[in-house]
A and B are shown apart, each in its own frame.
Chain A
Amino acid sequence: MPRQDQVLVEVDNLYKWFPVRRSFLETLLKGERLFVKAVDGISFSIKKREIYVLAGESGSGKTTTGKVLVGLEKPTRGRIVYDGADISSLSLKEWRRQGLRKKIQMIFQDPYESLNPRQRVLDIVAEPLIVNRVTRDKREIEERVLKILEEVKLTPATEFAYRYPHQLSGGQRQRVAIARAMVLDPEFVVADEPVSMLDASIRASILDLLMYFREHKNVTYLYITHDLATARYVGDRIAIMYLGKIVEKGSVEDVVTNPQHPYTQALVSSIPVPDPKYAREKKRIELKGEIPSPINPPKGCRLHPRCPFAMDICSREEPPEVEIKPGHTVSCWLYVKR
């Protein structure tokens, strides 16, 4: 098998800027147009059958990245290569025509919002089959829906198929959302914080379900989360985002148990540990202040105003990406040998 066959998704220097809406008067007075730099030049690649984690705090640009990858938003700049083909400049129509809708799916964070309250589970899960004209046969549609409901453990399927979302618990709703994403046998699924709204006790079973589809259907995932402890259990490799940029990349085990970038260290040391004795001893690395606005991010390294190790150069120049170990890279001046 040739090497590049291994990579399914390649993101190369991707940007997504949202124009800031301002009143007419403001535009006149201030002149230049402002942008929310939600994603500001990120690169990573996802291998087939991999679970690639994108982690970071609120507002770092994770969801925006996910939406660009599933074609909900158009990139401002940069390249996305999917299975060898550049898909970054495809129009929505092209996207559908090339069958990408069937191959690329997304699971959203909030299962209370992502299901239409007026549709039954059957209609919700059947929708991808109908809109992609997989089949017109009502029987076949119903059979496929019931089968996937069994797979996501909503049993008895014939019972759940006719319920409305408000008759389901949060965990069951998320199973419906997963069934909808999986009913077309996609190759690549963006899972945007699929368990963050759920109770701790049922999170593990939802994660098991995602694993099941990787094992049995060869699904590749981009798993978006702010929870590094969970990331460690599901992910293979990880990228840590801060203010639209990736600050550290590597295998999940390396990055989470041995973080190198000051931001990653702060993040990891803030995670509560389910171990009281360890918790009492542990030292935290604290960042000063609050996350700055993505409209006017700090010059140089974006973390420098908050970083306990900031040096002169950090406020002047953007740090390069340094490989500190095969497959583990950090964008930080601390690791640049001079």
Chain B
Amino acid sequence: MEAVSVKRYRRFERVIEFWRAYSRTRLGLIGLGILLFYTLMAIFAPWIAPYDPKARVGGSFEPPSAEHPLGTDEMGRDILSQVIYGTRVSLLVGVLAALLAAAIGSAVGMVSGYFGGLVDDLLMRITDLFLVIPGLPFIIVLSVVLGPSIWNIILVIAIISWPSVARLVRSETLSLKERLFVQASRVSGATDLYIIVHHILPNVLPIVAASMVLTITSAIILEAGLSFLGLGDPTKISWGTMLYFADRQGALLSDNPYYIIAPGIALIGIGLAFVFVSYALDEVVNPRLRERER
């Protein structure tokens, strides 16, 4: 009985310690605040958005007014509602693409670094191949081939993002596998798989998580970019598709420039938030590593 409560307490204490260090970084708090705002917006979009984003609810290119705070688009749809719904797609694409890239990258990196030799050579050649492929042209070709759907966009972004994760994880694994606690585990009788899962993975996770923050950012921006080029999924509202249509309809010169400004600002906001968080994580994670070196 008592043991359990102690256990909870210790786990909890670690989280608290982390949070204390994190909350000392002002940028980190601001970033987190913005992210929270976006997340809530994505989750509660149907309740927050004043209109159905796909419905014609006014005239075309109406300037901002009390009914339509950010005006309307060429088809008379409410811009504010579109921006709010667009959060869903942007976050979904960003998070899923980054998760996929992290999963592939970690698996390749850990196997490559841990086993070394031929496996390592082979996997790293493949990784290098993906690294040297020029990103944007490759994405464009691939998304043309695969066709416009947000799942394909996620896949495409993951494909170009995993190699850098793999490199990062591999170099960390190389030093981890020489650490004494890994050797100790081997003496205890642990198999390679067990060591990878229980000793390597938990120790690479923090850096993978830190790198994911930046992958999410670039994934969100890539999605917007692809959509802007007309390679997105036209049936889904995202900030990228908004920008694409706004540009095509000459929104900037119309009566309602907010059609193009609003999704742009939403994009910049989320990008900054992730950059702040990643900066704060760096602050928090690094002194910890130093402390352990002692």
Contact = CB atoms under 8 A, between A and B. Distances in A.
Contact of B179 (A113, A132, A142, A166): A113
B186 interface: yes
A61 B99 CA distance: 46
A163 interface: yes
Contacts of B7: 162
Given A118-B203, A158-B3, A166-B291, A96 B189 contact: yes
Nearest to B179: A113
B55 interface: no
B189 A131 contact: yes
Nearest to A161: B3
Contacts of B181: 113-116
B184 A117 contact: no
B10 A131 contact: no
Contacts of A118: 202-203
Interface of A is mostly: loop
A180 B187 CA distance: 10
A188 B208 CA distance: 40
B189 A101 contact: yes
B132 interface: no
Contacts of B198: 119, 127
Contacts of B2: 158
Contact of B187 (A105, A142, A158, A163): A105
Interface string A96-134: 100001101110101011111111100000011001100
A240 interface: no
Contacts of B15: none
A191 to B, nearest CB: 12
A131 B180 contact: no
Nearest to A132: B189
Interface in B202-256: 202-203
Contact of A72 (B6, B9, B10, B187): B187
B188 A180 contact: yes
A177 B198 CA distance: 17
A70 interface: yes
B292 interface: yes
Interface string B1-20: 01100110110001000000
Interface in B179-200: 179-181, 183-191, 194, 198-199
Contacts, number: 75
A131 B187 contact: no
A164 B188 contact: no
The secondary structure that dominates the B interface is helix
B203 A128 contact: no
Q: Which range contains the number of B residues in contact with the other chain? A: 20 to 34
A9 B292 CA distance: 37
A105 B6 contact: no
Contacts of B9: 162
B196 to A, nearest CB: 13
Contacts of B189: 96, 101-102, 128, 131-132
B182 to A, nearest CB: 8
A275 B3 CA distance: 48
Contacts of B202: 116, 118-119
A5 interface: no
Interface in A57-72: 70-72
Interface string A204-227: 000000000000000000000000
Given A72-B186, A108-B184, A131 B194 contact: yes
B190 A131 contact: yes
A199 interface: no
A312 interface: no
Q: Which of B9, B14, B183, B294 has the most CB of A within 10 A?
A: B183
A159 interface: yes
B180 A108 contact: yes
Nearest to A108: B180
Contact of A106 (B179, B184, B292): B184
Given A131-B194, A164-B10, A105 B180 contact: no
Nearest to B195: A131
Contacts of B203: 116-118
A24 to B, nearest CB: 14
A101 B187 contact: yes
Contact of A101 (B180, B188, B292, B294): B188
Interface string A72-84: 1000000000000
B66 to A, nearest CB: 55
A180 B292 CA distance: 21
Contacts of A132: 188-189
Contacts of A142: 3
B183 A127 contact: no
A141 to B, nearest CB: 13
Enumerate the 8 nearest inter-chain pairs by beta-carbon distance, A residue then B residue, closest first. Answer: A101-B189, A113-B180, A128-B188, A114-B180, A131-B190, A116-B181, A162-B10, A118-B202
23 contacts: A72-B187, A96-B189, A102-B189, A106-B187, A112-B294, A113-B180, A113-B181, A115-B184, A118-B203, A120-B10, A127-B185, A131-B185, A132-B188, A142-B3, A158-B3, A158-B6, A159-B6, A161-B3, A162-B3, A163-B10, A164-B14, A166-B291, A177-B184
Given A108-B184, A115-B184, A116-B199, 9 more contacts: A106-B184, A113-B180, A127-B185, A127-B198, A131-B194, A132-B188, A132-B189, A162-B7, A166-B292
Interface of B: 2-3, 6-7, 9-10, 14, 179-181, 183-191, 194, 198-199, 202-203, 291-292, 294
